[in-house]
Amino acid sequence: MSIAATNAPIGQSERRTKAKRLVTGRGRYTDDVTARRVLHAAFLTNPFAHARILSIETEEAAGLPGVERVFTGPDIADACNGWTGNHDLFPKLDSPQQYPLAVDVARWQGEGVAMVVAETRAIAEDAAALIDVTWEELPAVADPVANLEPGATVLHPGKSDNLALELRLGTDAVDAAFERSTLVLEESFRFGRHTGVPLETRAILAEFDPSEQRLVIHQSHQAPHQQQELFARLLDLDEQNVRIVCPDVGGAFGIKLQFSGDEAAVAVAARILGRPVKFVADRLESFTSDIHARDHQVSARMGFAVDGKITALEVDDIYAIGPYSIYPRASIMEGNHVMQLTAASYTVPAFRGRSRIVYQNKGLMGHYRAVGQPLGCAIGEVLLDRAARKLGVDPVEIRRQNYADLSAGPVTSSAGVALEGLVLHECLDTLVERMDLPELRAEQTRLRSQGRYRGIGIAGFIEQTGPGPNYYGKGGIPVSAQDGCVVRLEPSGKARVFSGATDQGQGADTAAAQVVAAALGIQADDVRVTLGDSEVCPYGGGAFASRGTSIGVEVAWRAGRRLRSQILELAGALLQCDAEALDLRDGQVIELATSQARFSLEDVARIGHFRPYELPEGFQPMMSAVEHYVPRDKPTVVGNGIQGSYLEVDVETGIVSLLNHWVVPDCGFVINPLLLDEQIRGGVVQGIGGALFEELVYDDQGQLLTATMADYLTPMAAEIPDIDVTRIEKPMGDKTLGAKGVGEAGTAGAVGAVLCAINDALVPLGAGIAQTPCTPARILTAIEQARNE
Amino acid sequence: MKFPAFKYLRPSSVAEAAAQLAEHGDDARLLAGGQTLMPVLAMRLAEPEVLIDLGRIENLRGIALEDDALRLGAMTRYVDLERSALVAEHAPLITRALPYVAHVAIRNRGTIGGSVALADPAAEMPACMLALGAEIELTSTEGNRWIAAEDYFLGLYETAREDTEILTAIRIPLAPERRVGFYEVARRHGDYALAGAAAVGDVEDGRIQGLRVAMFGCDDLPVLAKTAAKAAETGVLDGAWLEADVSPTSNINGEAHIRLAQARVAFRRAVTDLLGVSNG
């Protein structure tokens, strides 16, 4: 399966196959799916951060015309098994049992407490307002630092404290290394709580047929096979009788990767009522009940020798999660990434890391695009810049001299990340060239003399993508690390692909069409890709951790190659020649020796499907091929990349204007340059959101203050600069296509690049900032503090 | 996020609307462009029994030049103001400020009367009315009255409009020599201002006279910064006296003193904009 064999349309900028349909309004999202006699759900949610439910009166609500049924937490719990967001690799994590709706005690503002199912959503909302709950408000656990102190209010009865789990890495040798350091820098970083804000909110339509005990769910989700397993498990159904269909999904970013209580309640209601039930989260519900991410307070220390070489690193993280660890994937990974990916591309001789994961009466914490990677990147790069300034070393040089030395082969970082096949120096050199750094510096200096404060930031990052089965498999979590793919030759000589990968806008389907087309010698338009149906598609993991291309497209390539072999066998049988002597090109079967077309692919396909009697006796034409692929040789595909930011800070108002942004990603082998670049750009925009705008702000009573699009500020087109992408293409080897995932690369580096640039701009004022988002008030406060010092 | 049920009325004249409002009083809400009221209804932050849609009252729309004033019908949309040569000539402050009002889609529906009636303290149009010395027409079944913008804005979303009155028109006095300046600090383009200033005044021999600067986004209501404006007329442009005029409180956007500092910058930049000098 050598790379040399790949040909067009691999490597071409094919447009997304779905784009025209979606932009002309013909998308079919979950809310567009209808069912006869469908009912609509609305939830009464917990208005407090933490409250005991003393009683729930539903009679008035149930009596409203058009209301089918009102369910309380216990009603639903009676018909649904509970779950815990635990992970077998971390046995000390003992997250309490959770049910679809709160039972007795509600533990975050926005948690579902009761559900009305009615003829329309409006009636359901009218009825929800009539439910009378008697609450006993309980103290909110809403300050992760204070809540770790002895004597703090404990969120879960029966537990001794609010610490869900403590992760540790590295060794105490770090202490001696700090003592020997010429320079030790220390900083407390704070990263605000985010969420992903997909355009299409979470949505589900559940239909239950009691005659077959069959549950069919349409859901806006990233991982249909995971959902199939979970719905079967929690509702005690046979897995083969549960079908999860994810139609068009309008963005996901990790927000649609976990299991949601409200969605479980909808499935239970459909089963009990024997009628379809639909729920589409509104934006308010999204902010309070979608998964959240980030929310870390990190004390970091970095030691340096006089020449700028890193001597030691300590990362001490407090990770504020929700009242439970998220189900099914557990709220752990982000703490791990913060520790492991700080300064991960550099040689760090001594390292110690700790992440304390703390229960909070706030929204549940899941895995949002780049899961902790932007934080680790930002911490390391900000400290490196500060060291460069203190030691008088050029910021580019300090990076260059600290890069891990991979010349003798792979190395493992002190924090345990296997660094292999990276292109650190090449990315950095390319970035410096693309930015025209000397000219930018000159402009910056010139403008500073005019009282204008521009900043330049550079941030390199390490990504762990396309994971193998170790983390979830060994964790006892039913998440598939493999994808299956079926390629079927149609009588027309064109093809269908059914894959266990999924697509929420990334273009995984387009890339799959390209590799299958290349394998069969046809055009990408000749291939139709079906994804996101747990019944029809081969089992797979769906979309997470930038796995779509490195796993999902890899398996499509393999299945395409297998079908190609089968077609050549068939053609060889027809031509009475060796399959090896034939090739598929431009929809034709070609004889290699003469380069002559002998049959069209359509002719061969029609014989295979309709006229197999033309084949030698006993020959069975194989018109479909299936392959499965799971990365076995390493835990993840590690990639790297670097980003640059150029911006201006208005030091009077605190407003940051982004002027330019550059990305140099290590892409491995590139299937589709257009989609790759746009994936990077989209990721950068979400990173910029985290750096400057987006924050879920809770007050000290655990009330969410930013639950509308007017308060939770997502980046808009007007704020985004040009994003220049320069790909570094270096296939990983000859066992696979060698594509690296880049879905998270944009997000992973953008926060660090912008944060470094803002700090660079503030240098003349003696100010620095280590908190995201960098709001105008925070920037002005930093300047004010520097002035007062 | 669905509206609660309400009775929907769509009068075709001001008199009919006024009669309906007189009948329903504070059980009714008036619907103008709906850019605030619709989400408020959807989030059930308001549950009026009656919604009176002003959208079909033709003579509530339009821009007209009168003898001594520019008259804006309350239901005139932002987009119409933005494109109006009359507004550009006689009330250029509005033309300057409109690009800062939300986004194109919102300006296609939002109305000047709706914004002034709502009186959001961080919105641009109420502050412009204050700076321009506009008069606001309120109409009920009892007749109509004109009230100066300075007497109209009373507090947080609180105005002199009675529950039975409809805001029907705005009159902006003509002042041909007047110069204008505008500045706002916002986190993103189109957001409500963290602090903003709308200024009008005359400039003679490099000196400002008759300066009126309306501050928005820094208090419970749009405020004329009279003290700071007087100081500016004597050459103190930096808004040093602004705290005598506005009292920002600490909120999610920053502590009070930070917000005051931003307000000072907005003041100074609006006044320097008016002076036509570089907005440093």
Identify the closest residue of chain A to B36 by CA–CA distance: A710
Residue A732's pLDDT band (cuts 50, 70, 90): low
| Residue B67 burial (10 A CB sphere; 0-12, 13-18, 19+) | exposed
Please indicate, yes or no, whether residues B51 and B84 belong to a single structural domain of this protein.
no
Please indicate, yes or no, whether residues B66 and B162 belong to a single structural domain of this protein.
yes
Please indicate, yes or no, whether residues B201 and B260 belong to a single structural domain of this protein.
yes
Instruction: Please check whether residue B128 is in contact with residue B168, taking contact to mean a CB–CB distance below 8 angstroms.
Output: no
Residue B112 within any structural domain of the chain: yes
Instruction: Please check whether residue A698 is in contact with residue A142, taking contact to mean a CB–CB distance below 8 angstroms.
Output: yes
Residue B280's pLDDT band (cuts 50, 70, 90): very low
B258, B260, B268: best to mutate for the A interface, most A CBs within 10 A: B258
Note the pLDDT of residue A6.
58
- Written as one string, the DSSP assignment of A516-560 is HHHHHTS-GGGEEEEESBTTTSPPB--S-TT-IIIIIIHHHHHHH
d(CA A674, CA A651): 38
CATH number at residue B44: 3.30.43.10
The average pLDDT across A223-244 equals 98
Name every residue whose Cβ is closer than 8 Å to that of residue B245 and which is 6 or more positions away in sequence: B215, B223, B224, B225, B226, B227, B228
Note the pLDDT of residue A447.
98
Helix (H) or strand (E) holding A573: helix A554-575
Helix (H) or strand (E) holding A265: helix A261-273
Residues of B with CB under 8 A from a CB of A: 1-5, 39, 42-44, 185-192, 194-195, 252-255, 258-259, 261-262, 265-266, 280
pLDDT digits (tens, 9 = 90+) for A494-512: 999 999 999 999 999 999 9
Please indicate, yes or no, whether residues B66 and B47 belong to a single structural domain of this protein.
no
d(CA B149, CA B159): 10
The vertex-A70 CA angle with A68 and A73, nearest 5°, equals: 150
Residues of A with CB under 8 A from a CB of B: 120-122, 125-126, 129, 282-285, 451, 652-655, 693, 697, 705-706, 708, 710-711, 713, 715-716, 718-719, 775-777, 780-781, 784
Cα A40 from chain centre: 29
Please indicate, yes or no, whether residues B251 and B188 belong to a single structural domain of this protein.
yes
pLDDT digits (tens, 9 = 90+) for A253-308: 999 999 999 999 999 999 999 999 999 999 999 999 999 999 999 999 999 999 99
Instruction: Please check whether residue A298 is in contact with residue A188, taking contact to mean a CB–CB distance below 8 angstroms.
Output: yes
Residue B75 within any structural domain of the chain: yes
Task: Name the domain boundary from B173, B190, B205.
Answer: B173
Q: Do A713 and B188 touch (CB under 8 A)?
A: yes
Residue B230 within any structural domain of the chain: yes
Of A284, A711, A716, the CB nearest to B43: A284
B262, B267, B269, B278: best to mutate for the A interface, most A CBs within 10 A: B262
Instruction: Please check whether residue B265 is in contact with residue A787, taking contact to mean a CB–CB distance below 8 angstroms.
Output: no
Please indicate, yes or no, whether residues B142 and B245 belong to a single structural domain of this protein.
no
Please indicate, yes or no, whether residues B124 and B225 belong to a single structural domain of this protein.
no
d(CA B227, CA B243): 9
B120, B252, B257: best to mutate for the A interface, most A CBs within 10 A: B252
| Residue A315 burial (10 A CB sphere; 0-12, 13-18, 19+) | buried
pLDDT averaged over chain A? 96
- Name chain B contacts of A705, Cβ cutoff 8 Å: 252
Task: Name the domain boundary from B123, B148, B173.
Answer: B173
Of A121, A126, A776, the CB nearest to B4: A126
CATH number at residue B187: 3.30.390.50
Measure A289 CA to nearest chain B CA, in Å: 14
Please indicate, yes or no, whether residues B68 and B168 belong to a single structural domain of this protein.
yes
Note the pLDDT of residue A730.
82
Residue B72's pLDDT band (cuts 50, 70, 90): very high
Structure tokens at A55: 């009683």
Kindly give the pairing relationship between strand A637-649 and strand A656-668. antiparallel
Q: How many structural domains is chain B composed of?
A: 3
- Name chain A contacts of B266, Cβ cutoff 8 Å: 653
Measure A777 CA to nearest chain B CA, in Å: 5
Please indicate, yes or no, whether residues B90 and B39 belong to a single structural domain of this protein.
no
| Residue A72 burial (10 A CB sphere; 0-12, 13-18, 19+) | buried
Measure B59 CA to nearest chain A CA, in Å: 33
pLDDT averaged over chain B? 96
Note the pLDDT of residue B177.
86
- Name chain B contacts of A653, Cβ cutoff 8 Å: 185, 194-195, 262, 265-266
| Residue A689: C-alpha distances to residues A717, A743, B186 (Å) | 11, 16, 15
Identify the closest residue of chain B to A713 by CA–CA distance: B188
Global confidence as pTM:
0.97
Domains in chain A and their CATH numbers? 3-27+482-629 (3.30.365.10), 33-138+199-252+256-289 (3.90.1170.50), 293-469+633-788 (3.30.365.10)
Residue B188 within any structural domain of the chain: yes
Of A121, A283, A693, the CB nearest to B2: A121
Structure tokens at A126: 């009218």
Residue B1 within any structural domain of the chain: no
ipTM of the complex: 0.96
Please indicate, yes or no, whether residues B109 and B200 belong to a single structural domain of this protein.
no
Structure tokens at A197: 């804000």
Please indicate, yes or no, whether residues B50 and B73 belong to a single structural domain of this protein.
no
Tell me the residue range of the domain where B162 lies. 62-173
A44, A447, A648, A653: best to mutate for the B interface, most B CBs within 10 A: A653
Residue B280 within any structural domain of the chain: no
Alpha-carbon Rg for chain B, nearest whole angstrom, is 19
pLDDT digits (tens, 9 = 90+) for A257-267: 999 999 999 99
pLDDT digits (tens, 9 = 90+) for A517-567: 999 999 999 999 999 999 999 999 999 999 999 999 999 999 999 999 999
d(CA A331, CA A488): 39
H helices of chain B, in order, are: 14-24, 37-42, 78-82, 85-90, 92-97, 104-107, 112-118, 124-132, 149-152, 226-233, 256-275
Please indicate, yes or no, whether residues B154 and B139 belong to a single structural domain of this protein.
yes
Measure A774 CA to nearest chain B CA, in Å: 11
Cα B71 from chain centre: 15
| Residue B171: C-alpha distances to residues A15, A168, B6, B224 (Å) | 53, 69, 33, 18
Task: Name the domain boundary from B32, B55, B78.
Answer: B55
| Residue A434: C-alpha distances to residues A398, A643, A726, B112, B258 (Å) | 19, 11, 8, 47, 38
Residue B2 within any structural domain of the chain: no
CATH number at residue B135: 3.30.465.10
CA dihedral A345, A472, A632, A169 (to 10 degrees): 30
Residue A8's pLDDT band (cuts 50, 70, 90): confident
- Name chain A contacts of B3, Cβ cutoff 8 Å: 122
- The size of the A-B interface in CB pairs under 8 A is 78
Of A284, A654, A719, the CB nearest to B188: A719
